[in-house]
């Protein structure tokens, strides 16, 4: 890596990265990318695919294959986005395994007919959480069969609380 490259990466890691993290945290964007001098920083939210993704991706466009092996480690502050991924959304990963969690704080409203053994497609309505009279939908994260319902109709539930579990169909 030449001096110019080192300077660029120091600036990207030292100045640009913290600002990008702040912006990504405040926004609803899933991904942000900045390019400079053939280098790029890409920040991805760690929970988009239900798997903790590589949170920071700093590498050279000229030298991508080699940099990919080294990853982002060794760069100053490369650990900071990783912190974000540790404190991220555990329930998104759980959703991939069929765990249904509450999207809000309120009272659980069951959907008629939904119970153990109920067949669902991904996105099917399982019930609602009533937040001050406004109903937020609780939907099946995967296609499959309802294996458990953990809460009763009318029960107070908090954000992220497990509500049900859907056993995914074996593909």
Residues that bind other proteins in the complex, under the rule CB under 8 A: 14, 18, 21, 25-26, 79-80, 83-84, 86-90, 104-107, 131-132, 134, 156, 158-161
Least Cβ distance, residue 126 to other proteins (angstroms): 20
Least Cβ distance, residue 145 to other proteins (angstroms): 28
Least Cβ distance, residue 14 to other proteins (angstroms): 7
78-82 long-range contacts, Cβ below 8 Å, gap at least 24?
A: 78/13, 80/17, 80/18, 80/21, 80/56, 81/17, 81/21, 81/43, 81/55, 81/56, 82/55, 82/56
Least Cβ distance, residue 1 to other proteins (angstroms): 22
Of the pair 54, 63, the CB lying nearest other proteins is at 54
Of the pair 27, 169, the CB lying nearest other proteins is at 27
- Residue 158 burial by CB count (10 A; 0-12/13-18/19+): exposed, middle or buried? exposed
């Amino acid at each position: 890596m030449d001096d110019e490259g080192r300077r660029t990466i120091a600036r990207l890691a030292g100045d640009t990265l913290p600002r990008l993290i702040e912006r990504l945290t405040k926004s609803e964007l899933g991904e942000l990318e900045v390019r400079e001098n053939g280098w790029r920083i890409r920040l991805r939210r760690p929970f988009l695919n239900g798997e903790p993704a590589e949170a920071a991706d700093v590498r050279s466009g000229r030298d991508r294959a080699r940099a990919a092996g080294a990853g982002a480690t060794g760069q100053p502050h490369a650990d900071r986005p990783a912190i974000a991924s540790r404190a991220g959304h555990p329930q998104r990963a759980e959703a991939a395994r069929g765990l249904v969690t509450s999207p809000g704080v309120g009272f659980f409203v069951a959907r008629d007919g939904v119970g153990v053994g109920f067949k669902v497609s991904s996105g099917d309505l399982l019930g609602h959480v009533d937040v001050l009279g406004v109903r937020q939908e609780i939907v099946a994260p995967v296609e499959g069969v309802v294996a458990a319902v953990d809460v009763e109709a009318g029960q107070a539930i908090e954000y992220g609380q497990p509500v049900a579990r859907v056993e995914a169909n074996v593909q």
